Amino acid sequence: MKRFRHVIRKSLRFFHLDISQNLRYDRMTERIMRRLISRGSNCIDVGCHKGEILEQMLTLAPDGQHYAFEPIPGFYKELVKRFGDEVKVFPYALSSAEGEVNFRHVKNAPAYSGIKERKYDVAKPDVEIIAVKAKRLDDIVPEHHDIAFIKIDVEGGEFDVMKGAQQLLRRCRPAIVFECGLGASEYYKTDPSDLYAFLKGIPGYQLYTLKSFCNGSTPLSEKEFSDHYINNTEYYFIASPGVV
């Protein structure tokens, strides 16, 4: 059944049948990756889950060195089993500081799992609290290793991941596809103006919705980004040194 759902999801993306907002984001993320990732690009998947995006990274950049982060034990073990010979897979929750944290694994809706308790769009969430190690990306990726692309989907903690990767972002200026929206991000006290200022403080970075980036439109102003956040009109974005 799981394999069948995976095939259906890939087919819907292929035929541009966006029956949900998430499928639309998946399709545009794949389109952006094809545009930005070359054969030797090094990529990072934060919140790897079942490895769908990681699989695309490997297809597009078979000669690259890739990193994957997934703290849910079952998913981590499957990722190691499936990709361990080709990818550096870690069981860490990335954040802005090191330490041990209580991670909330939503067993009947694992896509909502994260460090903080958040709004769960499921009737009776079955939440298991597990202890995991929190790490900073700056402490894991070697300084000599250039990174071209990062995907971050950690159910609200995306800004914390970025703050723990400041050196990497300034050094490599990778494109970053990330989630940011009400229902999750506010539980991490994310202020969209602060996030916007953080990224704009890195030379060359501009923010776009996935659609505007794909269409070559102008970048978002701080107000436009904040309005999307407040009104939940968009909750996936890309930060990039420039449209390619």
| pLDDT, tens digit (0-9, with 9 covering 90-100), for 69-124 | 999 999 999 999 999 899 999 999 999 999 999 999 999 999 999 999 998 888 89
Q: Is residue 14 part of a domain?
A: no
Q: Is residue 220 part of a domain?
A: yes
- Report the CATH number that the domain containing residue 205 is assigned in CATH: 3.40.50.150
| pLDDT, tens digit (0-9, with 9 covering 90-100), for 48-70 | 999 999 999 999 999 999 999 99
Mean pLDDT for the chain?
A: 91
Greatest alpha-carbon pair distance for the chain in Å reads 47
Q: Is residue 20 part of a domain?
A: no
Cross-sheet strand order for the sheet of 127-135: 93-94, 127-135, 99-106
Q: Which domain holds residue 133?
A: 39-240
The total domain count for the chain is 1
